[in-house]
Amino acid sequence: MHLRVVLRIPDGDTLVRDTLDGRWADPWGVPDESTPSDTWALPGLVDAHAHLARPTMDFQPGDVEETGARARRALEAGVGMILDKGWVDLTVLRMADQVPVDERPDIEAAGVILAVEGGYWAGFGRDVAPGRIVDEVARAAREGRGWVKLIGDWPRKGIGPVVNFNQAELAQAVAVARANGARVAVHTMAREVPAMAVEAGADSIEHGLFLSSRDLEVLGERGGSWVPTVIQMEAVIEQLGERSSGGRLLTEGLDNVAANLKTAVDAGVHVLTGTDLAIMTHEVAREAVRLWELGMAPSAVVDAISWSGYRASGRDAAFEVGEPANAVLFGEDPTVDPGVLAHPSRVIRMGRLVR
Protein backbone atom coordinates (compact mmCIF):
# COMPACT_ATOMS: atom_id res chain seq x y z
CA MET A 1 0.00 0.00 0.00
CA HIS A 2 1.21 3.49 -0.88
CA LEU A 3 0.26 6.48 1.28
CA ARG A 4 1.24 10.11 1.27
CA VAL A 5 0.98 11.96 4.57
CA VAL A 6 1.70 15.47 5.79
CA LEU A 7 3.11 15.09 9.30
CA ARG A 8 2.76 18.22 11.40
CA ILE A 9 4.94 17.62 14.44
CA PRO A 10 3.86 19.40 17.64
CA ASP A 11 6.52 22.01 18.49
CA GLY A 12 8.45 20.88 15.41
CA ASP A 13 8.60 20.76 11.63
CA THR A 14 6.07 19.77 8.99
CA LEU A 15 7.15 16.76 6.94
CA VAL A 16 5.75 15.21 3.79
CA ARG A 17 6.31 11.46 3.64
CA ASP A 18 5.30 8.64 1.34
CA THR A 19 5.26 5.04 2.46
CA LEU A 20 7.13 2.34 0.57
CA ASP A 21 7.24 -1.30 1.66
CA GLY A 22 6.12 -0.33 5.16
CA ARG A 23 8.75 2.38 5.63
CA TRP A 24 8.88 6.14 5.28
CA ALA A 25 10.16 7.42 1.95
CA ASP A 26 10.78 10.81 0.41
CA PRO A 27 7.68 12.05 -1.42
CA TRP A 28 7.37 11.59 -5.16
CA GLY A 29 6.54 15.06 -6.39
CA VAL A 30 4.63 17.64 -4.37
CA PRO A 31 1.45 17.21 -2.30
CA ASP A 32 -1.76 17.46 -4.30
CA GLU A 33 -5.18 18.61 -3.15
CA SER A 34 -6.04 15.17 -1.80
CA THR A 35 -3.07 15.07 0.57
CA PRO A 36 -4.33 15.60 4.15
CA SER A 37 -2.73 18.71 5.63
CA ASP A 38 -4.67 19.29 8.83
CA THR A 39 -3.16 16.45 10.81
CA TRP A 40 -0.84 16.56 13.81
CA ALA A 41 1.43 13.53 14.03
CA LEU A 42 2.94 11.42 16.81
CA PRO A 43 4.86 8.17 16.27
CA GLY A 44 2.24 6.34 18.33
CA LEU A 45 0.77 6.37 21.82
CA VAL A 46 2.53 4.36 24.53
CA ASP A 47 1.08 2.31 27.36
CA ALA A 48 4.08 1.80 29.62
CA HIS A 49 2.32 -0.28 32.28
CA ALA A 50 -0.11 -2.70 30.68
CA HIS A 51 -1.40 -6.15 31.55
CA LEU A 52 -2.82 -7.35 28.26
CA ALA A 53 -3.37 -10.96 29.31
CA ARG A 54 -6.68 -10.22 31.04
CA PRO A 55 -9.18 -7.33 31.02
CA THR A 56 -9.39 -7.26 34.83
CA MET A 57 -7.42 -8.48 37.85
CA ASP A 58 -9.18 -11.84 38.01
CA PHE A 59 -6.05 -13.90 38.76
CA GLN A 60 -6.67 -16.16 35.79
CA PRO A 61 -4.25 -17.29 33.07
CA GLY A 62 -4.61 -15.35 29.84
CA ASP A 63 -6.09 -16.39 26.52
CA VAL A 64 -3.89 -15.76 23.48
CA GLU A 65 -6.75 -15.02 21.08
CA GLU A 66 -8.46 -12.56 23.44
CA THR A 67 -5.13 -10.92 24.23
CA GLY A 68 -4.49 -10.47 20.53
CA ALA A 69 -7.89 -8.84 20.14
CA ARG A 70 -7.02 -6.35 22.89
CA ALA A 71 -3.71 -5.59 21.19
CA ARG A 72 -5.47 -4.95 17.86
CA ARG A 73 -8.01 -2.67 19.56
CA ALA A 74 -5.18 -0.72 21.15
CA LEU A 75 -3.58 -0.25 17.75
CA GLU A 76 -6.84 1.09 16.34
CA ALA A 77 -6.82 3.67 19.15
CA GLY A 78 -3.36 4.82 18.08
CA VAL A 79 -1.23 2.86 20.53
CA GLY A 80 2.09 2.12 18.86
CA MET A 81 3.97 0.52 21.74
CA ILE A 82 3.03 -1.47 24.83
CA LEU A 83 5.29 -2.22 27.77
CA ASP A 84 3.51 -5.13 29.45
CA LYS A 85 4.61 -5.46 33.06
CA GLY A 86 3.93 -9.15 33.57
CA TRP A 87 1.24 -11.63 34.55
CA VAL A 88 0.83 -15.06 36.09
CA ASP A 89 1.77 -16.71 32.79
CA LEU A 90 3.37 -16.00 29.41
CA THR A 91 0.23 -15.30 27.40
CA VAL A 92 1.37 -11.89 26.17
CA LEU A 93 4.68 -13.30 24.96
CA ARG A 94 2.94 -16.08 23.06
CA MET A 95 0.54 -13.58 21.53
CA ALA A 96 3.39 -11.31 20.41
CA ASP A 97 4.97 -14.29 18.63
CA GLN A 98 1.73 -15.27 16.89
CA VAL A 99 0.16 -11.95 15.83
CA PRO A 100 1.93 -10.29 12.85
CA VAL A 101 3.82 -7.15 13.84
CA ASP A 102 1.80 -4.97 11.46
CA GLU A 103 -1.44 -6.00 13.20
CA ARG A 104 -0.46 -4.96 16.73
CA PRO A 105 1.66 -2.39 18.55
CA ASP A 106 5.32 -3.00 19.29
CA ILE A 107 5.47 -5.07 22.47
CA GLU A 108 8.05 -5.35 25.21
CA ALA A 109 6.97 -7.57 28.09
CA ALA A 110 7.91 -9.08 31.39
CA GLY A 111 6.99 -12.72 31.87
CA VAL A 112 5.80 -14.04 35.22
CA ILE A 113 5.85 -11.39 37.96
CA LEU A 114 8.37 -11.99 40.78
CA ALA A 115 7.51 -11.54 44.46
CA VAL A 116 8.11 -13.39 47.74
CA GLU A 117 5.86 -15.62 49.81
CA GLY A 118 3.11 -13.46 51.28
CA GLY A 119 4.36 -10.50 49.29
CA TYR A 120 1.73 -10.42 46.54
CA TRP A 121 -1.65 -11.86 45.66
CA ALA A 122 -1.62 -15.49 46.79
CA GLY A 123 -0.91 -17.86 43.92
CA PHE A 124 -0.25 -15.02 41.50
CA GLY A 125 3.25 -14.56 40.14
CA ARG A 126 6.32 -16.51 41.18
CA ASP A 127 7.65 -16.48 44.72
CA VAL A 128 11.40 -16.03 45.05
CA ALA A 129 12.81 -18.15 47.87
CA PRO A 130 15.58 -16.71 50.06
CA GLY A 131 18.92 -16.84 48.29
CA ARG A 132 17.31 -17.48 44.88
CA ILE A 133 17.07 -13.95 43.49
CA VAL A 134 19.89 -14.40 40.98
CA ASP A 135 18.52 -17.62 39.51
CA GLU A 136 14.91 -16.42 39.38
CA VAL A 137 15.73 -13.08 37.76
CA ALA A 138 17.91 -14.79 35.16
CA ARG A 139 15.02 -17.15 34.40
CA ALA A 140 12.54 -14.26 34.17
CA ALA A 141 14.86 -12.30 31.88
CA ARG A 142 15.20 -15.25 29.52
CA GLU A 143 11.45 -15.89 29.35
CA GLY A 144 10.48 -12.23 28.98
CA ARG A 145 10.66 -9.81 26.11
CA GLY A 146 13.03 -7.19 27.51
CA TRP A 147 11.66 -6.81 31.04
CA VAL A 148 11.68 -8.34 34.52
CA LYS A 149 9.00 -7.21 37.00
CA LEU A 150 9.56 -7.25 40.76
CA ILE A 151 6.98 -6.51 43.45
CA GLY A 152 9.05 -4.31 45.72
CA ASP A 153 6.54 -3.93 48.56
CA TRP A 154 3.14 -5.25 49.52
CA PRO A 155 0.75 -4.75 52.45
CA ARG A 156 0.36 -7.47 55.07
CA LYS A 157 -2.86 -7.61 57.04
CA GLY A 158 -2.54 -5.80 60.34
CA ILE A 159 0.99 -4.65 59.51
CA GLY A 160 0.79 -2.43 56.46
CA PRO A 161 3.30 -2.19 53.61
CA VAL A 162 6.29 -4.53 53.91
CA VAL A 163 9.49 -4.52 51.84
CA ASN A 164 9.86 -7.71 49.79
CA PHE A 165 13.50 -7.45 48.70
CA ASN A 166 16.42 -5.86 50.50
CA GLN A 167 18.86 -3.41 48.92
CA ALA A 168 21.42 -6.08 48.01
CA GLU A 169 18.78 -8.28 46.38
CA LEU A 170 17.46 -5.40 44.28
CA ALA A 171 20.98 -4.56 43.11
CA GLN A 172 21.58 -8.22 42.24
CA ALA A 173 18.32 -8.34 40.31
CA VAL A 174 19.29 -5.32 38.20
CA ALA A 175 22.76 -6.68 37.46
CA VAL A 176 21.51 -10.14 36.48
CA ALA A 177 18.67 -8.79 34.35
CA ARG A 178 21.02 -6.52 32.41
CA ALA A 179 23.49 -9.35 31.92
CA ASN A 180 20.61 -11.21 30.28
CA GLY A 181 19.50 -8.30 28.11
CA ALA A 182 16.52 -7.17 30.20
CA ARG A 183 15.41 -4.08 32.13
CA VAL A 184 13.94 -4.14 35.62
CA ALA A 185 10.60 -2.60 36.63
CA VAL A 186 9.84 -2.35 40.35
CA HIS A 187 6.31 -2.05 41.76
CA THR A 188 6.28 0.22 44.79
CA MET A 189 3.41 2.01 46.49
CA ALA A 190 4.95 2.47 49.94
CA ARG A 191 7.56 4.82 51.38
CA GLU A 192 10.86 2.95 51.58
CA VAL A 193 11.19 1.05 48.35
CA PRO A 194 11.29 3.89 45.74
CA ALA A 195 14.66 5.12 47.03
CA MET A 196 15.94 1.54 47.32
CA ALA A 197 14.91 0.72 43.75
CA VAL A 198 16.47 3.88 42.37
CA GLU A 199 19.71 3.28 44.25
CA ALA A 200 19.78 -0.32 42.97
CA GLY A 201 19.59 0.95 39.38
CA ALA A 202 16.04 -0.08 38.47
CA ASP A 203 15.08 1.06 34.99
CA SER A 204 11.42 1.84 35.70
CA ILE A 205 9.56 2.70 38.88
CA GLU A 206 5.94 1.55 38.73
CA HIS A 207 3.50 3.74 40.70
CA GLY A 208 6.33 5.21 42.80
CA LEU A 209 4.04 7.32 44.96
CA PHE A 210 6.80 8.32 47.36
CA LEU A 211 9.65 9.12 45.01
CA SER A 212 11.56 12.10 46.40
CA SER A 213 13.12 14.94 44.44
CA ARG A 214 16.52 13.36 45.13
CA ASP A 215 15.31 9.98 43.82
CA LEU A 216 14.06 11.69 40.67
CA GLU A 217 17.34 13.49 40.17
CA VAL A 218 19.26 10.20 40.31
CA LEU A 219 16.70 8.43 38.12
CA GLY A 220 16.83 11.22 35.56
CA GLU A 221 20.62 11.23 35.39
CA ARG A 222 20.54 7.70 33.99
CA GLY A 223 17.45 8.19 31.82
CA GLY A 224 15.18 6.03 33.95
CA SER A 225 11.40 5.89 33.78
CA TRP A 226 8.54 6.56 36.17
CA VAL A 227 5.02 5.29 35.45
CA PRO A 228 2.68 6.84 38.08
CA THR A 229 -0.53 5.04 36.91
CA VAL A 230 -2.68 7.77 38.47
CA ILE A 231 -6.07 6.32 37.46
CA GLN A 232 -5.10 2.93 38.90
CA MET A 233 -4.02 4.52 42.19
CA GLU A 234 -7.30 6.42 42.39
CA ALA A 235 -9.18 3.17 41.80
CA VAL A 236 -7.30 1.46 44.64
CA ILE A 237 -8.07 4.36 46.99
CA GLU A 238 -11.75 4.07 46.13
CA GLN A 239 -11.61 0.31 46.72
CA LEU A 240 -9.88 0.66 50.09
CA GLY A 241 -11.85 3.68 51.20
CA GLU A 242 -10.40 7.15 51.54
CA ARG A 243 -10.44 6.98 55.35
CA SER A 244 -8.76 3.60 55.63
CA SER A 245 -5.08 3.48 56.56
CA GLY A 246 -4.23 2.30 53.05
CA GLY A 247 -6.45 4.91 51.44
CA ARG A 248 -4.85 7.69 53.46
CA LEU A 249 -1.36 6.46 52.58
CA LEU A 250 -2.09 6.31 48.85
CA THR A 251 -3.82 9.69 48.89
CA GLU A 252 -0.72 11.17 50.47
CA GLY A 253 1.31 9.42 47.80
CA LEU A 254 -0.78 10.84 44.97
CA ASP A 255 -0.33 14.33 46.43
CA ASN A 256 3.41 13.66 46.26
CA VAL A 257 3.07 12.54 42.64
CA ALA A 258 1.31 15.77 41.68
CA ALA A 259 3.94 17.84 43.48
CA ASN A 260 6.82 16.06 41.73
CA LEU A 261 5.69 15.71 38.10
CA LYS A 262 7.45 18.89 36.96
CA THR A 263 10.49 18.02 39.05
CA ALA A 264 10.71 14.65 37.32
CA VAL A 265 10.42 16.11 33.82
CA ASP A 266 13.02 18.78 34.57
CA ALA A 267 15.36 16.10 35.95
CA GLY A 268 15.20 14.13 32.70
CA VAL A 269 13.05 11.28 33.99
CA HIS A 270 10.90 9.56 31.38
CA VAL A 271 7.50 10.14 32.97
CA LEU A 272 5.24 7.72 31.11
CA THR A 273 1.56 6.90 30.85
CA GLY A 274 0.37 3.49 32.05
CA THR A 275 -3.07 1.94 32.39
CA ASP A 276 -2.38 -0.99 34.73
CA LEU A 277 -5.83 -2.60 35.10
CA ALA A 278 -8.06 0.36 36.00
CA ILE A 279 -8.62 1.11 32.32
CA MET A 280 -7.80 -0.72 29.10
CA THR A 281 -4.76 -0.05 26.95
CA HIS A 282 -6.90 1.49 24.20
CA GLU A 283 -7.94 4.09 26.81
CA VAL A 284 -4.40 5.18 27.71
CA ALA A 285 -5.18 8.75 26.61
CA ARG A 286 -7.31 9.04 29.75
CA GLU A 287 -4.17 8.64 31.86
CA ALA A 288 -2.49 11.42 29.89
CA VAL A 289 -5.43 13.70 30.63
CA ARG A 290 -5.18 12.89 34.35
CA LEU A 291 -1.50 13.88 34.33
CA TRP A 292 -2.55 17.15 32.70
CA GLU A 293 -5.23 17.67 35.34
CA LEU A 294 -2.62 17.11 38.04
CA GLY A 295 -0.63 20.02 36.67
CA MET A 296 1.68 18.52 34.05
CA ALA A 297 2.28 20.89 31.12
CA PRO A 298 0.43 19.86 27.92
CA SER A 299 3.67 19.51 25.94
CA ALA A 300 5.10 17.27 28.68
CA VAL A 301 1.90 15.21 28.69
CA VAL A 302 2.18 14.58 24.95
CA ASP A 303 5.81 13.61 25.47
CA ALA A 304 4.80 11.23 28.27
CA ILE A 305 2.32 9.32 26.11
CA SER A 306 4.49 9.19 23.01
CA TRP A 307 8.04 10.36 22.32
CA SER A 308 9.38 9.73 25.81
CA GLY A 309 8.27 6.12 25.81
CA TYR A 310 10.12 5.47 22.57
CA ARG A 311 13.26 7.23 23.79
CA ALA A 312 13.18 5.27 27.05
CA SER A 313 13.06 2.04 25.05
CA GLY A 314 15.92 3.09 22.77
CA ARG A 315 13.69 3.26 19.71
CA ASP A 316 13.94 5.73 16.84
CA ALA A 317 10.58 7.37 16.24
CA ALA A 318 11.41 10.50 14.31
CA PHE A 319 9.70 9.77 10.96
CA GLU A 320 13.09 9.46 9.29
CA VAL A 321 13.26 8.09 5.75
CA GLY A 322 13.83 4.34 5.90
CA GLU A 323 12.29 3.93 9.36
CA PRO A 324 9.05 1.95 9.85
CA ALA A 325 6.08 4.00 8.71
CA ASN A 326 4.16 4.30 11.98
CA ALA A 327 2.08 7.31 12.99
CA VAL A 328 -1.06 8.38 14.80
CA LEU A 329 -2.65 11.54 13.41
CA PHE A 330 -4.93 14.10 15.02
CA GLY A 331 -7.06 16.90 13.61
CA GLU A 332 -5.99 19.29 16.37
CA ASP A 333 -2.74 19.98 18.20
CA PRO A 334 -2.65 17.75 21.34
CA THR A 335 -0.12 20.07 22.98
CA VAL A 336 -2.90 22.65 23.17
CA ASP A 337 -5.56 20.22 24.42
CA PRO A 338 -4.34 16.73 25.49
CA GLY A 339 -7.96 15.56 25.35
CA VAL A 340 -7.41 15.33 21.59
CA LEU A 341 -5.24 12.25 22.21
CA ALA A 342 -8.37 10.12 22.69
CA HIS A 343 -9.62 10.94 19.19
CA PRO A 344 -7.10 10.03 16.48
CA SER A 345 -8.17 10.73 12.91
CA ARG A 346 -5.83 8.19 11.32
CA VAL A 347 -3.54 5.40 12.46
CA ILE A 348 -0.73 4.10 10.25
CA ARG A 349 1.11 0.91 11.10
CA MET A 350 4.06 -0.29 9.02
CA GLY A 351 2.72 1.74 6.12
CA ARG A 352 -0.78 0.28 6.44
CA LEU A 353 -3.76 2.52 7.10
CA VAL A 354 -5.37 0.92 10.17
CA ARG A 355 -8.15 3.53 10.40
Average pLDDT over residues 40-51: 97
pLDDT for the residue 318: 84
DSSP H/E element including 186: strand 183-188
Number of domains in the chain: 2
- Give residue-wise pLDDT tens across range 101-132: 999 999 999 999 999 999 999 888 999 999 99
Helices (H), the chain: 64-76, 91-98, 133-143, 167-179, 193-200, 213-221, 230-240, 245-267, 284-293, 298-304, 307-312
Going by their DSSP bridges, the two strands 45-50 and 14-20 should be labelled as unpaired
166 and 242 within one domain: yes
17 and 135 within one domain: no
Query: What CATH number does residue 5 fall under?
Result: 2.30.40.10
Give φ, ψ of 16 to 5 degrees.
Answer: -110, 125
325 and 258 within one domain: no
- Give residue-wise pLDDT tens across range 146-176: 999 999 999 998 888 999 999 999 999 999 9
Last residue of a domain, one of 283, 299, 315: 315
170 and 284 within one domain: yes
92 and 72 within one domain: yes
Residue 249 structural domain: 45-315
Q: Which of 351, 347, 302 is nearest to 324 (CA)?
A: 351
pTM of structure: 0.96
- Radius of gyration of the chain, Cα coordinates, nearest whole angstrom: 20
287 and 338 within one domain: no
144 and 17 within one domain: no
- Give residue-wise pLDDT tens across range 195-253: 999 999 999 999 999 999 999 999 999 999 999 999 999 999 999 999 999 999 999 99
Please report which confidence band the pLDDT of residue 325 belongs to, taking 50, 70 and 90 as the band edges.
Answer: very high
80 and 205 within one domain: yes
169 and 97 within one domain: yes
128 and 9 within one domain: no
281 and 170 within one domain: yes
Query: What CATH number does residue 168 fall under?
Result: 3.20.20.140
Please report which confidence band the pLDDT of residue 1 belongs to, taking 50, 70 and 90 as the band edges.
Answer: low
282 and 149 within one domain: yes
